[in-house]
Amino acid sequence: MRVTSGAVARQTFLTAVTNQIDSASANRGIRAAAVMLVAALTATAAQVSVPLPFTPVPLTFQPMIVLLGGVALGSSLGMWSQIVYLAIGALGLPVFAASPLLPQGIARLVGPTGGYLLCYPIAAFVAGWLAERGFDRRYLGSVVAMAAGLVIIYASGTSWLALMTASVPSGGLQAALAAGVYPFVLADIFKLFVAAGVMPGLWRLTGLRGSHQS
Range 126-141 burial, b when 16+ CB lie within 10 A, else e: bbbbbbbbbbbbbeeb
Higher pLDDT, 137 or 167: 137
pTM of the model: 0.88
Is 210 inside a domain boundary?
A: no
Domains contained in the chain, number: 1
Task: Please provide the average confidence, as pLDDT, over all residues in the chain.
Answer: 88
Is 75 inside a domain boundary?
A: yes
Residues in the chain: 214
Which pLDDT score is estimated for 9?
52
Is 7 inside a domain boundary?
A: no
Spatial distance between the Cα atoms of 105 and 60, rounded to a whole number of angstroms: 18
Which pLDDT score is estimated for 169?
65
Half-sphere exposure of 29 (CA within 13 A, CB side): 6
Is 96 inside a domain boundary?
A: yes
φ/ψ of 96, rounded to 5, equals -90, 165
Give the rounded percent of residues in the chain with a pLDDT score beyond 90.
62
Which pLDDT score is estimated for 53?
67
**Is 146 a residue whose pLDDT tops 90?**
yes
pLDDT tens-digit map of 46-97? 988 777 766 777 778 899 999 999 999 999 999 999 999 999 999 999 999 8
Is 211 inside a domain boundary?
A: no
**Candidate from 7-11, 41-45, 183-187, 196-200 with smallest mean pLDDT:** 7-11
Helix (H, G, I), strand (E, B) or coil at 40: helix
Helix (H, G, I), strand (E, B) or coil at 50: strand
pLDDT band at 100 (very low <50, low <70, confident <90, very high): confident
**Is 205 a residue whose pLDDT tops 90?**
yes
Is 94 inside a domain boundary?
A: yes
Which pLDDT score is estimated for 89?
96
Is 55 inside a domain boundary?
A: yes
Residue 181 maps to which CATH number? 1.10.1760.20
**Helix residue spans in the chain (DSSP H):** 13-18, 24-47, 62-73, 75-90, 106-109, 114-118, 120-131, 139-164, 173-180, 185-195, 198-206
pLDDT band at 99 (very low <50, low <70, confident <90, very high): confident
- Residues 67, 146 contacting (CB under 8 angstroms): yes
Residue ranges making up the domain that contains 73: 13-204
Which pLDDT score is estimated for 5?
41
Is 193 inside a domain boundary?
A: yes
